[in-house]
Amino acid sequence: MTRLFSLLTALIFTMSIHAQSLETYRNPVIAGFHPDPSVCRVGDDFYLVNSSFEYFPGVPVYHSRDLVHWEQIGNVLDRPSQLNLKDASSWTGIYAPTIRYNDGTYYMITTNIGNGGNFMVTAKDPKGPWSEPIWLKQQGIDPSLYFENGHCYMVSNPGNMITLCEIDPKTGHQLSESKGIWQGEGGRYPEGPHLYKKDGYYYLLISEGGTELAHHLTIARSRQMAGPYEACPANPILTNCNRKGQSMQIQGTGHGDFVEAQDGSWWVIFLAYRNFGGSYHHLGRETYLAPVEWKAGEWPVVNQGEAIDTLMTARLLPQTAMQKTVIHTAFNGSLGSEWIHIQNPITANYKIGNGKLRLYPHGSLTENHQPTFIGRRQEAAKIVAETAIDMEELDKNVEKVKSDTSAVIKAGLTVYQINDGHFDFYTDGYFVGAEARLKSLSADFGTQMIKEGCKILRLRITSDGLFYHFLYAFDDGGFTELTAQNCSLMSTEVAGGFTGVTLGLFAAGPSDGSYADFQYFDYTEK
């Protein structure tokens, strides 16, 4: 009896310690427009990349020590010679990248839709610099790399077939014929393939169902890299498009990448989106994290088979907390890696220094031909974005073109989802106004005449996740709300596109030498 009591006591103690090791974390781990994540580990460090579509620079790079807290350390494609975005839109440009490390070198492989197809770049440091593109023969989107015994293999999805070949990692030259190895479980768009080897099996992880509500992850395995592959009987191994997940705010779970942590635990990084105000998502597809149980010789089990939620429980790595994002940009020097342009910027239209950003217009955001725009991803539902425009400088430009209304410049803040889906909060020198430019709707939400003698116009956009509020102030006066608009108008479901909202400064109008001066940009997450 005493022995039994001791055993029970020890068991209870062990279970208590076991339970205490569980911690909670919040999804998404990288919020806002950060789709198609790929991750690799080097020692105690994790590095992650995302798709960037029509934005320059391309492929943001993040670093973490704990998989929960991430910090952007640069962009892979930061030179025009690496990234041609001619005529790119939300539907083209840089699709899903993969990051891998092998024998002292980092590799990033991706697709430039519309301007070249599949290529890879290399670096000795994930912060860069990264090499010039190494172009690849095998096409299909979402290419990935797998290294084994001095050989480099590539998988992608030409013709909706996951296809394998061997390549030379230095030259990109294809060393073997392309061979189809799996078409998935029958879901549309089998894509996002990644190869892993564990316990004598080659595992092939892919996403299916399209990157919307029915997105999900499936997996297959084989003793031979080239197959044949056996599908997991529990597929899909990750989805919220089922009874367990149907009530979750998080939907569209898929396109993932496994990583083994330094303590032997397994995790999956993947994309999903959050609905706001019904079945609408405007922040885009974000980066999420879930624990994986992967016993020797068995199939991986994601999050114990449960749905993905915003609050998760797992045995975490030692955590390094980060503060909420508060960014004040005074335009006194070079900008941080979070700043992006739509397509390749015309550099002469951006002058930064001495506490101001001078923007020269080049057409409009809707025309989508290298518009004058510089901004950042909206990375939280609740935010405040603010800027100030020098009205005395703008007045000089207004005087030059007052007889020609077609030549009037518009400058201000934009809530941008796609070229035919954006809110613009602007001044033309006479008025402050707000307007929507959508494929199905073009609307002016009101104007207010600029106060006579105003030297500085301050524009502020706030959001609570359901509405954007547009507020203005003259000089040091208090803010007045001009309008409030539903965030759903900027959602993928209404505006189109599948990237996510960016908040930026813009100048629109003819390229006649006119300009607008911005004094700062503040971005705060509440």
CA distances from 17 to 10, 20, 21, 293 (A): 11, 5, 6, 19
Residue partners of 227: CB distance under 8 A and separation at least 6: 181, 182
- Cβ atoms of residues 288 and 301 within 8 Å: no
Structure tokens at 145: 């790399």
3-class DSSP assignment, residue 89: coil
Task: Look up 395 and say whether it is catalytic.
Answer: no
- Cβ atoms of residues 140 and 119 within 8 Å: no
First to last CA, the chain: 58
Of 54, 142, 191, 257, which one is the catalytic site residue? 191
Task: Look up 191 and say whether it is catalytic.
Answer: yes
CA distances from 222 to 232, 235, 267 (A): 11, 16, 21
CA distances from 383 to 264, 324, 458, 469 (A): 38, 11, 16, 10
Q: Which of 379, 269, 265 is nearest to 318 (CA)?
A: 265
Omega before residue 371 within 30° of 0, cis: no
* CA dist., res. 78 & res. 337, Å (int): 10
Secondary structure E strands in 103-190: 105-113, 117-123, 134-135, 144-148, 151-156, 162-167, 179-182
Strand order in the sheet with 250-260: 250-260, 266-274, 286-293, 301-302
- Cβ atoms of residues 321 and 25 within 8 Å: no
Q: What are the residue numbers of the active site? A: 36, 191
